[in-house]
Structure 1
Amino acid sequence: MQRNVVIRILGILLMLFSTTMLPPIAVSIIYGDGAGTDFAIALMFSLLTGLAIFWPNRHAQAELKTRDGFLIVVMFWTVLSFFGAIPLYLSDIQNFNLVDAIFESFSGLTTTGATVISGLDNLPHSILFYRQQLQWLGGMGIIVLAVAILPMLGIGGMQLYRAETPGPVKDAKLTPRIAGTAKALWFIYLGLTIACALSYWVAGMSPFDAISHSFSTVAIGGFSTHDASIGWFNSSNIEIICSIFMLISGINFSLHFVAYRQLSIQPYSRDPEFRAYITLITLVFIICFVGLFISQQFNFRESIYKAIFHTISIGTTTGFASSDFSAWPGMLPLLLILLSFVGGCAGSTGGGIKVVRFLLLFKQGMREIQKLIHPNAVLRVKLGKQILPEKVSNAVWGFFAAYVAIFVIIMLILIADGMDQVTAFSAVAACMNNLGPGLGEVAANYSSVSDLGKWLLCLAMLFGRLEIFTLLVLLTPAFWRR
């Protein structure tokens, strides 16, 4: 492991991260909310710490190895989340301790959207803007992670696209270099953010709310500047706009790039994961609509809007709400939570296990059934028209097994800590799937969770955001051996 090189990069990351305090300082000056000093202190502390780490190792130059990549990625979300908590901890948010600040920062940077804060409407504008900005930065980090780092593991979502599956992404690399790929994806990400902000503004949001919510929409984060989330605006137009951009952001960004370059929608129609993604969202929407309309909780028109909005919001793991979905009738709240396990497409800003993995699990299950009928047949798993090698199937099963094991362990510890079963299940699901809102005591916020529970849920967010193995590999003794 190139330790000096890794430390040097950590210093650079911290120095770069310190500059993210500048926009909230500007917002504080514009609105005169008095919180700019907290961000200035956080800026100086992060900058000086980064410089102190970087300077002794400034001459360390070596080619990064795979293990170095894993460590740098984990540090991106852990170290920056801790430093990102500084301005929140220094702020005057009522009943806000260090653990709460760290939880909020982790939730923002991992684009989870779980919050411990109530009374968002009364917070300084700079604090509100900073929370949204954390999610936007984390969302782009996810895309770069998927393209540049996860393929090293052999089970990354982008590897399934670029090496193992048919379609436009495999047949045409985005750009010859990773740097060029990251730049292309940044362009798409920024373009979607601007388009989303303008759409919100035209629909009636203030410029501040439009920019803030565009950050968390495209990042599929779910933070809002109001306690009532998107429901605060009481606008069906805003809900429709939000649904469209959440749906777009839940799609593999590489597909967006290829479709833009070819000026064609065929890359979407050819992609098996995209078709599965749209099909699943549609099926759950129909079930939710029927359930809401039959229960007479909403009228026909409202049932359509609420069903579409919440199915996309929970299905893409964004976590926005226009009503209290946890109070919906029958099985609907649990159905939506279960939908978040599937999440968005690989290579998107969405969380969850990812649609492509569930699609492969389904196909493998069907193959096993066929083997029972035809024991001597040689059956292969196909995605589109291409046969997948066994190593991909094994990797998907390994990921799923690790996911379930970690989920159960964290949930059992939370129950042992005194949390009821429904709350524990939904809290771990919401954090590991990077969803945010849950059921029971965490339907509104996570302020009632114990300090131990918040630390465990931060870990769950990190596991979910880094797709399990990126973090899990660091916990193995073999990783640290020379």
Structure 2
Amino acid sequence: MHWRTILRITSLLVVIFSFNFIPPLGVSLFYGDGQWGTFGLSWLIVAVLGVLFWLPVRADRKDLMVRDGFLVVALFWSVLGLVGSLPFMFGLGMTPTDAVFESISGFTTTGATVIVGLDDLPRSILYYRQQLQWLGGMGVVVLAVAILPMLGIGGMQLYRAEVSRVTADEKLTPRLMHTARALWAIYLTLTVACALAYWLAGMTPFDAIGHAYSTVATAGYSTHDASIGYFNSVTIELIAVVFMLLGGMNFALHFLVWRSRDPRVYLRTPEARFFLGLFLAATVVIASALVFMSTYESVWDAVRYALFQTASVLTTSGFSTAVFAEWPLYIPLVLASLSFIGGCAGSTAGGMKVIRIMLLFKQGAREVNATIHPHGVYRVKLGDRAVPEQVVQAVWGFYTVYILAALVLTGLNMAMGLDMESAFGATIASLNLLGPGLGEVATTFALQPDPIKWMASFAMLLGRLEVFTLLILFTFAFWRN
């Protein structure tokens, strides 16, 4: 382990993150909500701490090893979750537990909250919550990959630790720094387009920018307690659906569409086709159940709410126009299952990712065929490309560990006093980065005891870092020389 290098990089990233307190400070001054001191003090504390840790190791220039990269990524997300909690403690007087929960939930794009009364909060605090999600959506590590090479730090190890193993070796441009810049350019473009669309649809500029941050990041924080339902606008809901789906798709695919100027690339990509097909099929199934049970007065209302909630849950955005946990029949189970699938690899969404589910289905089909024809030779393919066996095995391993983690987390939540429905709801809300759950956590974690909030915070980090990046730190093999 190159400890001095790890400390140097982590402290540099903390210093860079400290400047994210400046925009909400400006918002506070603009609206005169009296919170400028909160963000000024937070910036000062975080910047000074980062510099103090950086100074003793500033001359260290060693290259990162793969193990170092995993540790930097895990430390970075954990440390930012802690320092990002300062405005909540200083500005709202929240307890450390609640403040860290809110910060980690925002930065991991989970969208679960312990705050009630959003409509009455200072504008700068509301803006800060939305900005946290936007930064976490694309991954501050990817932003760091674009910056660190200029500081003499190689970024490939960070990139490998951050992205899905299925796509980690694929670069969009010859140099990784250019790749990260291209992804951020697309991310920023989608955010601006979403904000303009919201504004034209009737949102105020403040709400439009805040919700654009959340929508493209597939995160789910809102500036209102009623979430998107506050606006009661079909146009706004359709805009949200479009940009949630775009946020839930592989940003590498957006890059290819932009470079080729051909939107048909989406439909030629197996993962994107499966993702969109799953969205449409689930919408039909859920809308049919709502119509059958006469949950809403008209078929149109049933389709409207089914369309929005399906997009929100599948992309793990967590926006709401209705409490889906209260919907009848099998609908809560279907939506909970969709949250486990999540968005595409290389997207801002959580869950296990569509491409892994596709490979699991294909592997299952191969095993069925092999049982029928034992001497046949079958390959798992995505489109015309054969998938290497080691990738298929990695997917099986990931699926096993992910489901086991979900079961363990559910059991621990039950051991801390939640009923089975609420314990499972807390797991899908945090591990899948969904936000809203089931039972007692269908809308908020505010009434839950501190141990459950800390468990949920750990699960958010586990889900955001795709399980292995965090769990590997708890193995003896990782720490052995």
2:446 alignment partner in structure 1: 447
2:283 alignment partner in structure 1: 285
Residues 218-246 of structure 1, C-alpha deviations (whole Å, 9 max, x = no match)? 01100000000000011110000000000
Q: 1:144 to 1:67 in 2, by over 3 A?
A: same
**Which AA in structure 2 matches 1:219?**
A
Residues 414-447 of structure 1, C-alpha deviations (whole Å, 9 max, x = no match)? 1011001001001101111101001111111001
Alignment partner of 1:251: what SS? Answer: coil
Single out whichever of 144-153 and 469-478 deviates more from structure 2. 144-153
Shift of 1:142: 6.7
Question: 2: CA distance between counterparts of 1:312 and 1:332?
Answer: 14
1:398 alignment partner in structure 2: 397
Contact 1:150 1:470 in 2 (8 A): no
Matches within 5 A, 1:308-319: 308-319=307-318
Runs of 4+ residues over 2 Å off in structure 1: 142-153, 159-163
Q: Does 1:272 align with 2:270?
A: yes
Shift of 1:148: 4.8
Shift of 1:331: 1.1
**Which AA in structure 2 matches 1:407?**
A
2:150 alignment partner in structure 1: none
**Which AA in structure 2 matches 1:5?**
T
Matches within 5 A, 1:148-167: 148-149=156-157, 152=160, 157=164, 159-161=165-167
1:366 alignment partner in structure 2: 365
Residues 37-69 of structure 1, C-alpha deviations (whole Å, 9 max, x = no match)? 111111110000000000111101011110111
Matches within 5 A, 1:169-180: 173-180=171-178
Contact 1:337 1:430 in 2 (8 A): no
2:118 alignment partner in structure 1: 120
Q: 1:149 to 1:131 in 2, by over 3 A?
A: farther
1:350 alignment partner in structure 2: 349
Q: 1:255 to 1:354 in 2, by over 3 A?
A: same
Residues 331-366 of structure 1, C-alpha deviations (whole Å, 9 max, x = no match)? 112211110100000000010000000000000111
Alignment partner of 1:434: what SS? Answer: coil
Alignment partner of 1:61: what SS? Answer: coil
Given the two structures, how large is their TM-score scaled by the length of structure 1? 0.95
Alignment partner of 2:196: what SS? Answer: helix
Question: 2: CA distance between counterparts of 1:368 and 1:420?
Answer: 37
Question: 2: CA distance between counterparts of 1:227 and 1:189?
Answer: 26
2:148 alignment partner in structure 1: none
2:134 alignment partner in structure 1: 136
Alignment partner of 2:139: what SS? Answer: helix
Q: Does 1:198 align with 2:179?
A: no
Question: 2: CA distance between counterparts of 1:426 and 1:475?
Answer: 26
Question: 2: CA distance between counterparts of 1:287 and 1:150?
Answer: 40
**Which AA in structure 2 matches 1:85?**
S
**Which AA in structure 2 matches 1:211?**
I
Residues 156-181 of structure 1, C-alpha deviations (whole Å, 9 max, x = no match)? 53x42475xxxxxx6xx411111000
Question: 2: CA distance between counterparts of 1:389 and 1:258?
Answer: 23
**Which AA in structure 1 matches 2:447?**
S
Question: 1: CA distance between counterparts of 2:415 and 2:92?
Answer: 33
Residues 254-282 of structure 1, C-alpha deviations (whole Å, 9 max, x = no match)? 00001100001232122111111011111
Question: 2: CA distance between counterparts of 1:243 and 1:122?
Answer: 27
1:320 alignment partner in structure 2: 319
**Which AA in structure 1 matches 2:348?**
T
Shift of 1:92: 2.7
1:408 alignment partner in structure 2: 407
2:76 alignment partner in structure 1: 76
1:436 alignment partner in structure 2: 435
Question: 1: CA distance between counterparts of 2:253 and 2:163?
Answer: 16
1:262 alignment partner in structure 2: 260
Single out whichever of 232-241 and 259-268 deviates more from structure 2. 259-268
Question: 1: CA distance between counterparts of 2:422 and 2:231?
Answer: 28
Residues 193-214 of structure 1, C-alpha deviations (whole Å, 9 max, x = no match)? 0000000000000000000000
Alignment partner of 1:160: what SS? Answer: coil
Contact 1:121 1:225 in 2 (8 A): yes
**Which AA in structure 1 matches 2:458?**
L
Shift of 1:151: 6.9
**Which AA in structure 2 matches 1:74?**
A
Shift of 1:107: 0.2
1:101 alignment partner in structure 2: 99
Q: 1:152 to 1:28 in 2, by over 3 A?
A: closer
2:59 alignment partner in structure 1: 59
Contact 1:143 1:348 in 2 (8 A): no
Identity %: 48
Gaps of 5+ in 1: 164-169
- The CA RMSD measured in Å over matched residues stands at 1.7
Question: 1: CA distance between counterparts of 2:249 and 2:141?
Answer: 11
Q: Does 1:211 align with 2:217?
A: no
Shift of 1:150: 7.5
Q: 1:201 to 1:143 in 2, by over 3 A?
A: farther
Q: 1:97 to 1:151 in 2, by over 3 A?
A: closer
Question: 2: CA distance between counterparts of 1:341 and 1:217?
Answer: 19
Shift of 1:481: 2.2
2:242 alignment partner in structure 1: 244
Alignment partner of 1:34: what SS? Answer: coil
Single out whichever of 381-390 and 276-285 deviates more from structure 2. 381-390
Contact 1:18 1:43 in 2 (8 A): yes
2:467 alignment partner in structure 1: 468
Single out whichever of 305-314 and 143-152 deviates more from structure 2. 143-152
Contact 1:314 1:340 in 2 (8 A): yes
Contact 1:306 1:322 in 2 (8 A): yes
Shift of 1:86: 0.7
Contact 2:72 2:158 in 1 (8 A): no
**Which AA in structure 1 matches 2:469?**
T
Residues 251-310 of structure 1, C-alpha deviations (whole Å, 9 max, x = no match)? 100000011000012321221111110111111000111111222222122111111111
Contact 2:141 2:159 in 1 (8 A): no
Question: 1: CA distance between counterparts of 2:436 and 2:89?
Answer: 22
Contact 1:143 1:185 in 2 (8 A): no
1:166 alignment partner in structure 2: none
Question: 2: CA distance between counterparts of 1:162 and 1:6?
Answer: 21
Q: 1:267 to 1:161 in 2, by over 3 A?
A: farther
Q: Does 1:306 align with 2:316?
A: no
Q: How many residues align?
A: 470
Contact 1:7 1:53 in 2 (8 A): yes
Question: 2: CA distance between counterparts of 1:405 and 1:332?
Answer: 24
